[in-house]
Amino acid sequence: MNTLLRLGTVSFLNSKPLTYAIEENIIENDYELVATPPAELSVKLYERELDLALIPVAELLGRKSYAVVPDISISSCGKVDSVILLSKGDIGSMGKVAVDKRSQSSTALLRIILEMFNKLSPVYEPRKYETSNLSEGFLNGVDGGMLIGDAGLKYMYNPPEGYRVYDLGEIWTEHTGLPFVYAVFAVNEGVALGRNLEALSGSKAYGLSNLRKIATIGSRETGLSEEICYTYVSQRIKYDLGEAGVKGIIKYSELLSELGLCDKITDLNIYST
């Protein structure tokens, strides 16, 4: 019996096309799936509690020991629908912003958009997203708030009364002309994937061939309509990691370096057998 590899993922709808076939053992694999919020995945991978994980790109930068699984990502080119800023007014009026503490990568993207693209100097307040009334909780006492994942998707289509919605993926592409890569599979140094590299590719291929089925499952799990879920996984999220995606990651690192958040990179360490 092969030793199981600990594979970290998130429970968001956008990851389902990549992992569904592994979850359901449709594809032969030696993975033990571990689902946590994005920021926790990064810590577990760094502490080697996981062998590989679907981590936010901001967490990848500066980790030279990680290798990136080729041809797989969670990206967008234009609208993404699930990484949003809810604002009481124009984006230029942001003074204090609540940020969903589950993802540092999206928070870093928000900083680029507000500080570099809009020349603002807001105060950021990390908060835990709760499903209760947003205005009395997450959005209380701030000018706006950033939400990610299924929560972002929900409020993209049903914002609280009096709030505007800004799609951060759309703003990024408008300013850079590039895709934004939210997450990649990062492999810890010394981990040999063997046949499990092919299992990841096979799981992605199965998911992309069964997006309607995955949207139906996502609708049940999130309470959103099947059409919203299907549009999201079939049109908004991109699952490849091509040359443009790599350029997007490099551009992201360049802008983060100007904010003093990381060093600029010039290429990615792609995993190979």
| In the chain, domain spans | 5-77+180-244, 84-176
Q: Write out the CATH class of domain 84-176.
A: alpha beta
What are the two backbone dihedrals, phi and then psi, of residue 76, each rounded to the nearest 5 degrees?
-145, 155
Write the CA distances from 220 to 148, 223, 228, 253, integer angstroms: 19, 6, 12, 37
Q: Note whether 59 and 105 are within 8 A (CB).
A: yes
pTM: 0.94
Burial of 85 (0-12, 13-18, 19+ CB in 10 A): buried
What whole-number distance in Å separates Cα of residue 237 and Cα of residue 182?
Answer: 10
Q: Answer yes or no: CATH 3.30.300.30 is held by domain 5-77+180-244.
A: no
Do the domains at 5-77+180-244 and 84-176 have one common CATH topology?
yes
For residue 47, the Cα-to-chain-centroid distance in whole angstroms is 21
The answer to whether 14 and 82 are in contact (CB under 8 A) is yes
DSSP 8-state assignment for residue 29:
-
Tokens of 247: 């350029």
Write down the residue that tokens 């443009």 correspond to: 244
DSSP 104: H
What averages of pLDDT result for each successive group of 10 residues across the chain (273 residues)?
86 94 96 88 93 92 88 97 94 92 86 96 90 78 92 92 95 98 95 96 98 96 94 97 96 95 90 87
What pLDDT digit, counting tens, does each position of 92-130 carry?
A: 989 999 998 877 788 999 999 999 999 999 999 999 887
Picking from 91, 224, 55, 90, the residue whose alpha carbon sits closest to that of residue 151 is 224
CB contact burial 95-105 (16+ within 10 A = b; e otherwise): eebbbbebbbb
Predicted local distance difference test score (pLDDT) of residue 132:
63
Describe the crossing of helices 104-111 and 168-176 by its angle, rounded to 10 degrees: 50
- CA distance linking residue 94 with residue 74, whole number of Å: 28
Cα–Cα dist 110/83, whole Å: 9
